[in-house]
Chains A and B, each alone.
Chain A
Amino acid sequence: MKRRVKFYHPRVIRATHWLNAVLLLGMIASGLQIFHAYPAFAERGGTFCCYPFAGSRFPEAVRLGGWLAGGLRWHFFLMWFFIVNGLVYGGYQLASGEWRRRWFRLRDVKGAWHMHLYYLRVRADKPPYEMYNGLQKLSYSGTMTLGALAVFSGFAIWKPVSLPFLADIIGGYAWARFWHFLIVWAFVAFLAVHLFMTLIVDRESTRSMIVGAYREKPDGE
């Protein structure tokens, strides 16, 4: 029995998706190595309101680079590919019009709400949607935004004297470091849900991100 193909993931999107998976893990792991050198946010002799774990370090298993310079070298190497890959992904979405069925817009609010009710077992059936439901669009758009914010806060930390307005917008240097750090945990939270949804709940989505075609379930659901 041939299963109807519901949608395709274009080659560019598949390639940039998997490349990004590797690059993002590398950026996070090398970032945690850099954080290792000063696992706090307060300036010297000062305090920082919002981070109770100052001084706690992450285990070697999640760090890349071995020491500070090693972490920095990885971070500032992978950075280029992370940014270029993100631009290719975003540029392709814009040029091809793919963003229309992937990017969360105001009209998706209702769908996201109903999907949310469905997951909470308040609603019996899934609301109808074309490719992604509202919640999917929201979380994928959210994670793209996180990527952009990570780059923005990253440059704020990298060039605080030459590009001081970047850090100023987000509260200064210490806060830029803090936002950059919080974005990591937002990525990790997204990843946890993403892996659960794609490897356990809907494995067809994993297959489609590899081969392209997303097939309807045999019962036509």
Chain B
Amino acid sequence: MESKRRDSDRRQFLKLAGASALGLWTAGCGWRGGPFEDVLQWWWNPNEVLQKALTTPRRSAKLYPPGSETATFPTYYISDSVPMTDTAAWRLDVGGMVGRPLSLSLDDLLKMPMTTTRVRHYCIEGWTGVAEWSGVQLSHLAEMVGVDPAVNYVDFRSFDDGYWSSWDRETALPPQTLITVGMNGALLDPGHGAPARLYSSLKYGYKSVKYLTEINFLSHRTGGYWEDRGYDWYAGL
């Protein structure tokens, strides 16, 4: 008799557990986190600590031989159509906490020492592609403008409908970070960020701001277009 009662208790418990699991599941569909969304967003902080321990910003990414460029490489912009500018009038302003701010034309950039690298590009969506990038090392520009020792962040702005991002100094200044003006052996095309874009294989693609207009060396952290909407700010690879 007693064991029968226990059995029905157990059945009831299992039914209840099953029903609540189903309820939670239904409520959970596509759930962004509700009241926990702030916690989830804040959690990028401990993730950043772990990422900094795991990543080595000075490490060179694996280099690919000529001819290994992937057949396609997606274009990326947030504007409704490909952002275009008058290249002759275009300027890249390099400033912030620097001794000698600069305003560079495309010709100015093209006259500087060029670095070419062929690396795999990682998109936060999960796809990759290999391309060859040519440009000026950001560290070269940093030397030219004389960066204040108190600078810890670099902020990048664009003419792509206000798209922007910012980086930690440790990842921005090693030699593989390029202000890119060429891709796959030609001048950068409008779909991929012409006249100049940021490129480094140590961050996900959304950190590499295309259609650059401004670079500012700062002591405080700013954010970014996607970062302010919920993406990882550090985004180190």
A interface, CB within 8 angstroms of B: 29, 34-35, 37-38, 40, 43-46, 60-61, 63-70, 72-74, 76-77, 80, 155, 158-164, 173-174, 177, 199, 203, 206-207, 218
Contacts and interface: CB of A to CB of B under 8 A. Distances in A.
Contact of A159 (B3, B54, B201, B232): B54
Contacts of B126: 34-35, 37-38, 40, 177
Given A37-B124, A60-B30, A73-B40, 17 more contacts: A37-B125, A44-B129, A46-B70, A65-B30, A69-B229, A69-B231, A73-B37, A73-B41, A76-B43, A159-B55, A160-B122, A161-B55, A161-B61, A162-B54, A173-B122, A173-B128, A206-B14
| Overall SS of chain B's interface | loop
Contacts of B25: 61
A163 B54 contact: yes
Interface residues of B, number: 50
Interface string B69-86: 011111000000000000
Contacts of A162: 54-56, 59, 202, 236-237
B230 A80 contact: no
Given A70-B230, A72-B232, A159 B123 contact: no
A63 B128 contact: no
A124 B25 CA distance: 41
10 tightest A-B contacts by CB?
A45-B71, A69-B230, A45-B72, A38-B126, A44-B129, A37-B125, A73-B40, A161-B237, A162-B55, A66-B32
Contacts of B88: none
A199 B130 CA distance: 50
A73 B43 contact: yes
5 contacts: A29-B28, A38-B125, A44-B129, A72-B231, A162-B56
Contact of B31 (A34, A65, A80, A163): A65
Given A44-B127, A80-B46, A199-B14, A63 B230 contact: no
B90 interface: no
Contact of B130 (A43, A174, A206, A207): A43
B4 to A, nearest CB: 12
A161 B28 contact: no
A43 B128 contact: yes
A46 B236 CA distance: 25
B127 A38 contact: yes
Contacts of B47: 76
Contacts of B129: 43-45
Interface string B33-74: 100010111011011000100111001011000000011111
B128 A44 contact: yes
Contacts of B59: 161-162
A207 B10 contact: yes
Interface in B102-155: 120, 122-130
B89 interface: no
Nearest to A210: B13
A159 B55 CA distance: 7
A70 B201 CA distance: 24
